[in-house]
């Protein structure tokens, strides 16, 4: 799979894909004999995982470290679990905070709509 194809598939620019690989956010991708990246299944799985985690706001440092440990093999498993759990809790906390903000936004909207009501009051049909 060429970089262009992967780019389309995951809506990440080729520049971003190369950038991610450069900083170690993705493991090095296999190359053709002439040096062109040839993305495999595994690479795609990583990209999807990384994209998902990045969109959730997990820090790049963490993910770089995670990728590094993963590539070191099974003896890093316990450490990776600890790291994942830590990030899981942080993420859960952020979701909770965002929910608080959402509720507040909803309250504000409701409040404003009540203010509007007397003006744009269109009597609804009884049924």
Partner DNA sequence: GCTTGACTTGGAGTACACTCCAACGTTTAT
Partner DNA sequence: ATAAACGTTGGAGTGTACTCCAAGTCAAGC
In the complex, the residues that contact a copy of itself under the rule CB under 8 A are 49, 52-53, 55-58, 77-78, 80-81, 84-85, 87-88, 91-92, 94-95, 97-102, 104-106, 108-109, 112-113, 115-116, 120
CA distance 84 to 8: 29
Site string for DNA, 62-101 (x = CB under 7 A): ----------------------------------------
Torsion of CA 111, 113, 119, 124, to 10 degrees: -130
CA distance 74 to 42: 17
Q: Based on the shown chain and the rule CB under 7 A, indicate whether residue 2 belongs to the binding site for DNA.
A: yes
Nearest residue to 36 via CA among 50, 51, 8, 17: 17
Q: Which residues make up the interface to DNA (CB under 7 A)?
A: 2-5, 13-16, 18-20, 22, 31-37, 54, 59-61
């Amino acid at each position: 799979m060429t970089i262009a194809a992967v780019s389309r598939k995951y809506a990440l620019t080729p520049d971003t894909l190369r950038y991610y690989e450069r900083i170690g956010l993705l493991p090095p991708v296999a190359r053709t004999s002439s040096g062109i990246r040839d993305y495999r299944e595994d690479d795609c799985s990583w990209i999807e995982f990384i994209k998902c985690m990045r969109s959730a706001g997990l820090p790049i440092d963490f993910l770089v470290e995670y990728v590094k440990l993963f590539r070191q093999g099974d003896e890093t498993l316990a450490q990776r679990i600890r790291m994942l759990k830590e990030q899981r809790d942080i993420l859960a906390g952020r979701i909770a905070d965002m929910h608080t903000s959402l509720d507040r936004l909803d309250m504000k909207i409701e409040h404003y709509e009540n203010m509007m009501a007397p003006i744009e009051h269109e009597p609804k049909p009884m049924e």
